[in-house]
Structure 1
Amino acid sequence: MSAITEWQETTIGALASVSRGASPRPIASSRWFDASSAVRWVRIADVNRSNGRTLLTTTQALSPDGIARSRHLAPGTLIMSIAATVGIPVITGVPTCIHDGFVALENLKVDQRFLLYLLKASEGMLRESGQSGSQMNVNTDIVKSLHVCIPVDLGEQERIAAALWDIDDLIAALERLIAKKQAIKRGMTQQLLTGGARLPGFSSSWEEVTWSDVVTPQPGNSQIKGRLSPRRNVKAQYPGFSASGQDVWLPTWDVEGDGVVISAVGSRCGRAFLATGRWSAIANTHILLPRSNRLDASFAMLYFNDEAFWIKGGSGQPFVQVGSSLSKRVKLPPLDEQRAIMNVLGDLDWNVNLLRSRLVKARAIKAGMMQQLLTGRARLPVGDAT
């Protein structure tokens, strides 16, 4: 086995040539831009929209005049933002020009991908070194003087970079899969809620109704303080509700089964929440409980949790116009088909949530890897010597 190599403290300036970009002036002039140009103009928004590793596209491109007045870079150049949003590095994947809010790091004496991750890990230090004004910025001298530690052996740098690149590949794959599953769910929801697609075993016609035909809106009650009766031990019947002497806070609703609770007044009016099982609640008149024996509560949430469903009024204090909102017409499947639809959509939600859990874990693993591998606290296995 090869010997474990040492790490050394150095500076970014010792590892790379650091040069600032340039901007054609006045920047608003159309003379500098050409949408058909192959040379792209990099803005921080483009970097933020990238995958954080390779920049493949931008919203703007430069004309020959614009290129001549900026800093032209070949594909495969490591760049980093130094103004406003400071310390965001990326490797260009196309011909680009950078303005003076970026620096290019060239003539590297270190593995490029390792340096990319090292700069990501150093973002906080760069920000602390930044010059405050109308916006945060750092200059090339600050970037050059940034102290870092690196393994002396290029092979170890490459192994660290490859491990981090692989975990980023996993994170990107999970993000794509989640987006795909969510798109599938949106499409299936649209089809299943309009009858454009029917589940196996269901063929009966859907009934066209208004929501008010199937829903009885039950508002909360501001008069929720009652008197304790000898014949009614309210506190025993509703554990958790407070009593003081003979006064007792009576639950507004006592519900057996699932229910949809809707915020009817205020900045969050139109938001719906699903309450499940056997439950009781104290609610004021700002809260609404639609009651129905023809609606599955989870199925109703698909409509009632969409703020666009609710017609709103008011200015300083918005509220939902319940009557007008529930006068809308809908084609409603039978209750058993509603539940079958929700089972299918619920399975998709379960899969998405499982993927999200894996994504959270992968991101946590990456954070730990960066903290350990980029400081030398943990070392990757060394391959056999050749």
Structure 2
Amino acid sequence: MTSGSDLLLLGDIVRRERGSIRTGPFGTTLKASEYAPVGVPVVSVGEVGYGTFRIHKETRRVGPEVLKRLPVYRLNVGDIVFARKGSVDRCATVRDAQEGWFLGSDGIRVRLGRGSQVNPIYLGYALRAADVRRWLLRNATGTTMATLNQDLLESVPVWIPERREQDRIASALEDASGLIDALEGLIAKKRDVKQGMMQELLTGNSRLPGFTGKWELLPVADNSHLKARIGWQGLTTGEYLTSGEYRLVGGTDFKNGHVNWGSTAFVDKWRFDQDKNIQLVNGDVLITKDGTIGKVAIVDSMPGPSTLNSGVFVLRPKRDAYDSGFIYWMLRSRVFEEFVAGLSAGSTITHLYQRDLVTLELLVPPTLEEQAAISRILTDADVEIVALERRLESARGVKVGIMQELLTGRTRLPVKEEA
């Protein structure tokens, strides 16, 4: 971490700015009977993220009688809350007082005084900088679970430039955060739209222009070449290679319905040649049969010769019986989820057998043209989401880089002299 006159201890900063660091109320102060079904959400470990709070169905709440009895634990805009146990490097800044927040027993609040010369938004970012997070994880107490206490938090070194530079840094990081929030919101919206399209197009509720005719029942196994590696065929993990020409695809390589070619292992040529039935081609549909069963991926943009690992079925149509892309989307829909759930009948199943898929029947459009048209629409929607996700990943990387440079003093932002 950068050293220098601007590197201060958090406790000294808070005291200088006439603020406080406070732990949440313990059980003797706030009783379980005082939690309410409605009211102000309590910020506990589960609500503290990296920069934001998250309300979920398990979030506890307190009513007005608790707020009146324990007003010191009511959170204000600008307060920074840390998780006291577990991921002690997590902290978030209170941004909105419209609903209000209440400090939970497993949280620690950092509050600057009124009229402080430290920008609370800047301080929140500074306390989430990589150097600070590493320091917290390295120095946290506890044998079975990392624990953060007030004395340790007061000892955190934080880089604090003069106020005008703080404001500029905070503004730059807020802009970066705003872009990330906008992309996250857009991706969520696109996903909802795609889900709605799947519900309409994969059930026949909505038909594409120019297509008519009654949908037909397709017995999937009867119309498919359904293959998998026979046992392990003697294949051992000791044969996995980190590089090579012949890839080995397993269920752990599935990512968002596609094969993550960057994560696959490799095998020797004789292993690839061992079974032609499981040598992959673009357009193959893959289904996991072990572990997390029923995961689906489609083979596309295959970078080279590839074969299946154990635990995966490959599905190919017989004699143009169906469009592979359409069946892929059907298998990623609720129809297949319900089929797999129905196999368990209330118990946990750990293996999907070929005989199980023999019972799978799907309603499909009567022509390959309509199936392919539906597949293209859903694939285009998916491609758009993937592109947005890449932009989001890039934006997050840029923000991390900006934080690393600006919150340590390694890169300085010039400030204009006041007239």
The answer to whether TM tops 0.5 is yes
CA deviations on 1:103-124 (whole Å, 9 max, x unpaired) are: 2322144111110011111122
**Offset at residue 172 of structure 1 (A):** 0.7
Q: Does 1:259 align with 2:258?
A: no
- C-alpha displacement at 1:216, in angstroms? 4.6
Whole-Å Cα distance in 2 between the matches of residues 291 and 269 of structure 1?
A: 19
Aligned equivalents of 2:275, 2:33: Cα separation in 1: 72
Q: Please name the residue that 1:271 is paired with.
A: 295
Unaligned runs of 5+ in 1: 1-5, 226-239
> Matches of 2:118 and 2:232 in 1, distance apart?
72
1:75/1:148 Cα in 2 relative to 1: closer, same or farther (>3 Å)?
closer
Sequence identity percentage: 26
Q: TM-score, normalised by structure 2?
A: 0.73
Shift of 1:140: 1.7
Distance 1:331 1:80, change over 3 A: same
- The letter of the residue matching 2:207 is R
Alignment of 1:28-39 (within 5 A): 29-37=31-39, 39=40
Question: Does structure 1 residue 299 correspond to structure 2 residue 326?
Answer: yes
In structure 1, what residue type is equivalent to 2:325? S
Match of 2:188 among 156, 179, 192: 179
Q: Which amino acid aligns with 1:259?
A: D
Tell me the residue number matched to 2:137: 127
Contact 1:309 1:325 in 2 (8 A): no
Shift of 1:130: 1.4
Spell out, residue by residue over 1:47-75, the C-alpha distance to the aligned partner (whole angstroms, 9 max, x if none): 23xx8247889641245247535732353
The 1:275–1:156 alpha-carbon spacing in structure 2 relative to 1, beyond 3 Å, is: closer
The match for 2:404 is 371
Match of 2:204 in 1: 195
Letter in 2 for 1:275: V
Question: Which residue in 1 is equivalent to 2:248?
Answer: none
In the alignment, the residues of structure 1 paired with residue 46 and residue 232 of structure 2 have an alpha-carbon distance, to the nearest angstrom, of 53
Higher Cα Rg, which structure? 1
Q: Any conservation in 1 of the 2:117–2:163 contact (CA below 8 Å)? A: no
Maintained 8 Å contact 2:127/2:158: no
1:118 corresponds, among 126, 133, 147, to 126
TM-score (norm. length: structure 1)? 0.79
Please list, as runs of the form range in 1=range in 2, the aligned pairs for 1:23-102 lying within 5 A after superposition.
23-26=25-28, 29-37=31-39, 39-48=40-49, 52-53=51-52, 59-65=60-66, 68-69=69-70, 71-84=72-85, 85-92=87-94, 93-94=96-97, 95-100=100-105, 101-102=107-108
1:219–1:287: 8 Å Cα contact kept in structure 2?
yes
Q: Distance in 2 between matches of 1:280 and 1:308?
A: 34
Helix, strand or coil: the match of 2:128? helix
Mapped pair 1:360 → 2:393: yes
Residue 185 of structure 1 deviates from its aligned partner by: 0.5
How many pairs does the alignment contain? 358
Given the alignment of the two structures, is residue 106 of structure 1 paired with residue 107 of structure 2, yes or no? no
Question: What amino acid is aligned across from residue 127 of structure 1 in structure 2?
Answer: L
Q: Out of 92-101 and 7-16, give the one that drifted further.
A: 92-101
Q: CA deviation at 1:349?
A: 1.0
The Cα of 1:137 is off from its aligned counterpart by: 1.7
CA RMSD of aligned residues (A): 3.5
Cα shift readout 1:230-273 (whole Å, capped 9, x = no counterpart): xxxxxxxxxx7439xxxx73523567763224344x32443344
Aligned with 1:359: secondary structure?
helix
Letter in 1 for 2:204: G
Match of 1:229 in 2: none
Cα distance, 1:126–1:281 mapped onto 2, change above 3 Å = closer
* 2:73 partner letter: H
Contact 2:202 2:330 in 1 (8 A): no
Deviations 1:290-345 (A, max 9, x none): 342221112212234555534657x9993324344333432211211111111111
